[in-house]
Amino acid sequence: MTSPDLTNININKLTELFPSVVTETLDADGNPKRAIDFDLLRQELSDHVVEGPQERYRLDWPGKRAAAFAANAPIAKTLRPVREESVDFDTTQNLFIEGDNLDALKLLQESYLGKIKLIYIDPPYNTGNDFVYNDDFAETTDEYLLRSGQTDESGASLVANPESNGRFHSDWLSMLYPRLKLARNLLTDDGVLVISIDDNESANLRKIGDEIFGTGNFVAQVAVQVNPRGRHLDRFVAKTHESLMIFVRNSAAESITGIAKEGRMADEYQRSDDGGPFRLLGLRNRNQAFNPQTRPNLYFPLYVEPSTGRVSTELTAEFHVEVFPDAPDGTQTCWTWGRERILRDNALLTAETTGAEWRIFRKDYLYGVDGKVAKTLVKSVWLDGEFTNDYGRKAVKDLFGGAVMDFPKSPQLMKRLLEIAAGPECIILDFFAGSSSMAHAVMMANLEDGGRRQFVMVQLDEHTDPNSTAADAGYSTIAELSRERIRRAGASVAESAGLAETDLDIGFRSLHVDSTNMADVLRSPDATDQLTLTELETSVKPDRSGEDLLFQVMLDWGLELTMEIAIEQIDGQEVFVVEDGALIACFDSTVKPELVRTIAEREPLRAVFRDSSFASDDARINAEQVFRELSPATDVKAI
């Protein structure tokens, strides 16, 4: 009966916006309570690196503040379409983005904010060497020792045994931390993040995942047997598994749905009645801490009708077989349910006998009353032979005729993730695409269940090893090889589908991360003379096409990059029509008044032109006036 605790309310709001700033402190009585780490909050709200010496319980490393800053810092880049690399550019709903995934994630923040159901990544494992994602905060050993306080500016040691191996952990964490922060923004409320990882960084990954997503949104660390033989270099214990670290955006949402397919149902769910598939679980309680003194209400006999196996709590003419909850060794135990629960849910009980001994079971149904999976079949250890790296290599060899990729993930493993976390109408993102096994799995899953899942693959333009099979086959970058994998996998899936699946999407729009399309025309008056004014007349770089500009405008307006694009010729000018009028754009060097009126009469939601296309400021103002008269709801922009 008090007024609301506004502090707790504000902490709840900040927890939703910035889960990484929530920490714990002790109250006056020494009990832990939630609190806000104001140093981290300052960093979230700052456009520069914020220093803060406060010690706290968290994972720290040299460069963490710079990594957090990198996640929030804006970039002057865009995504440029490349039609010749694409498949079914005009109709596909899939994307392949070539470039640094940190840039790509920033560019996707508006268009795909809260729209991705499943994010899967297989980041480079930390093997104690430099890796290809060399962000600005990666550093040399000397820089690391200086920044971590192990040496002074002259290089003299400040500790007995300077430890330089931490540099690789710091570089790896600094690489992944901003990417995970940006990825979280893209997830739907019931979205799922799955990360493949080995033992080198699994402990650190769990800590930064808890910080970014909140400890309550950690689901599990699933062990997947990927190499049944183990590696010959392993000492003491042959490592046959890798881990899948699973987080959800919101633990209150139904994010992991289990597997309801017949082919994936566990053997114990093969029984069935009017309630659907079920398994039998023994009603006898095996908790060793329970005894007649601690749980006297759970010790009583039950009675069975022998002809039907029905169960009752009372002795009658029908229910005359008496069953005590005794253990096989003669020790007394108890039931899992009490009398009230048995009376309420008696229809869920059944008895079976093997000779003279009767046992009481409860029916555990696979499906709930709403038809959804009531009991998850997702276990924490996956031993399926199709999930191994050998199967991943076989899938690639079947497509290319040779081992052109190192350690490709099995598409069957990827499909398992789709089954448990991605329904038939959702978007899946993999921003360490590598061999694009996830794209392959998406097309396979859509073929099987008729779904319309979409994929977004992001891969750095990393060069292949010049001595590799891939290089010998003519593939100069991993991204090039990854796109070819999708093409071949799509063709294979289409061949399996036959003519019956004409609307199966096996294409992708290829986009490249590049510098902004806009030219740098910012000059101070004293740095500008009459000769340079002509160079500053246009704000668009000379090598950029109208379609380049269109995609940058779509990013700026937060439009999905797979929207339908029609190119029309109106009054001899090229006009882009996006999603039947969601956006109409013309980027020709000159825009005629007649074209402006024609576009306005179509009443698009948005219209955009090049500022330099208008002969004068008066012409641009007149164009805006035309829209105010004919289509006042249109959002008009000049770039």
Average pLDDT of every residue of the chain = 85
Condensed to tens digits (0 to 9), the pLDDT of residues 222-264 reads 999 998 888 767 778 888 999 999 999 998 887 887 554 444 5
What is the C-alpha to C-alpha distance for residues 312 and 321, in angstroms, rounded to an integer?
A: 10
Q: Judging by DSSP bridges, how do beta strands 218-225 and 381-382 pair with one another?
A: parallel
Give the per-residue pLDDT at 524. 59
The pLDDT of residue 601 is above 90: yes
> Is 94 in contact with 560 (CB distance < 8 Å)?
no
Condensed to tens digits (0 to 9), the pLDDT of residues 549-583 reads 999 999 999 999 999 999 999 888 999 999 999 99
Q: State what percent of residues in the chain have pLDDT above 70.
A: 84
Q: How many residues does the chain have?
A: 639
The pLDDT of residue 497 is above 50: yes
> Is 492 in contact with 400 (CB distance < 8 Å)?
no
Q: What is the DSSP letter of 364?
A: E
Give the per-residue pLDDT at 616. 87
The pLDDT of residue 613 is above 80: yes
Give the per-residue pLDDT at 296. 87
Condensed to tens digits (0 to 9), the pLDDT of residues 361-371 reads 999 887 776 65
Give the per-residue pLDDT at 190. 93
Condensed to tens digits (0 to 9), the pLDDT of residues 114-171 reads 999 999 999 987 665 555 555 555 556 566 556 545 555 666 654 444 455 556 788 8
Give the per-residue pLDDT at 242. 94
| Residue 357: closest CA among 388, 389, 330 | 330
Condensed to tens digits (0 to 9), the pLDDT of residues 9-18 reads 788 888 888 8
Question: How confident is residue 427, by pLDDT bands cut at 50, 70 and 90?
Answer: very high
Give the per-residue pLDDT at 565. 95
Q: What is the DSSP letter of 326?
A: B
What is the C-alpha to C-alpha distance for residues 40 and 211, in angstroms, rounded to an integer?
A: 11
Residues with Cβ within 8 Å of residue 581, at least 6 apart in sequence: 602, 603, 604, 605
φ, ψ dihedrals at 153, nearest 5°? -65, -25
Q: Which residue has the higher pLDDT, 230 or 429?
A: 429
What is the C-alpha to C-alpha distance for residues 583 and 578, in angstroms, rounded to an integer?
A: 5
What is the C-alpha to C-alpha distance for residues 62 and 163, in angstroms, rounded to an integer?
A: 13
Give the per-residue pLDDT at 54. 64
| Residue 436: closest CA among 465, 395, 467, 401 | 395
Condensed to tens digits (0 to 9), the pLDDT of residues 502-547 reads 689 999 999 999 999 988 766 556 655 655 545 555 778 988 999 9
Q: Which two tokens stand for residue 539?
A: 């704000």
State the average pLDDT over residues 475-485.
Answer: 94
Give the per-residue pLDDT at 274. 86
Half-sphere exposure of 610 (CA within 13 A, CB side): 29
Give the per-residue pLDDT at 557. 92
Residue written as tokens 């430099």?
Answer: 130
> Is 573 in contact with 586 (CB distance < 8 Å)?
yes
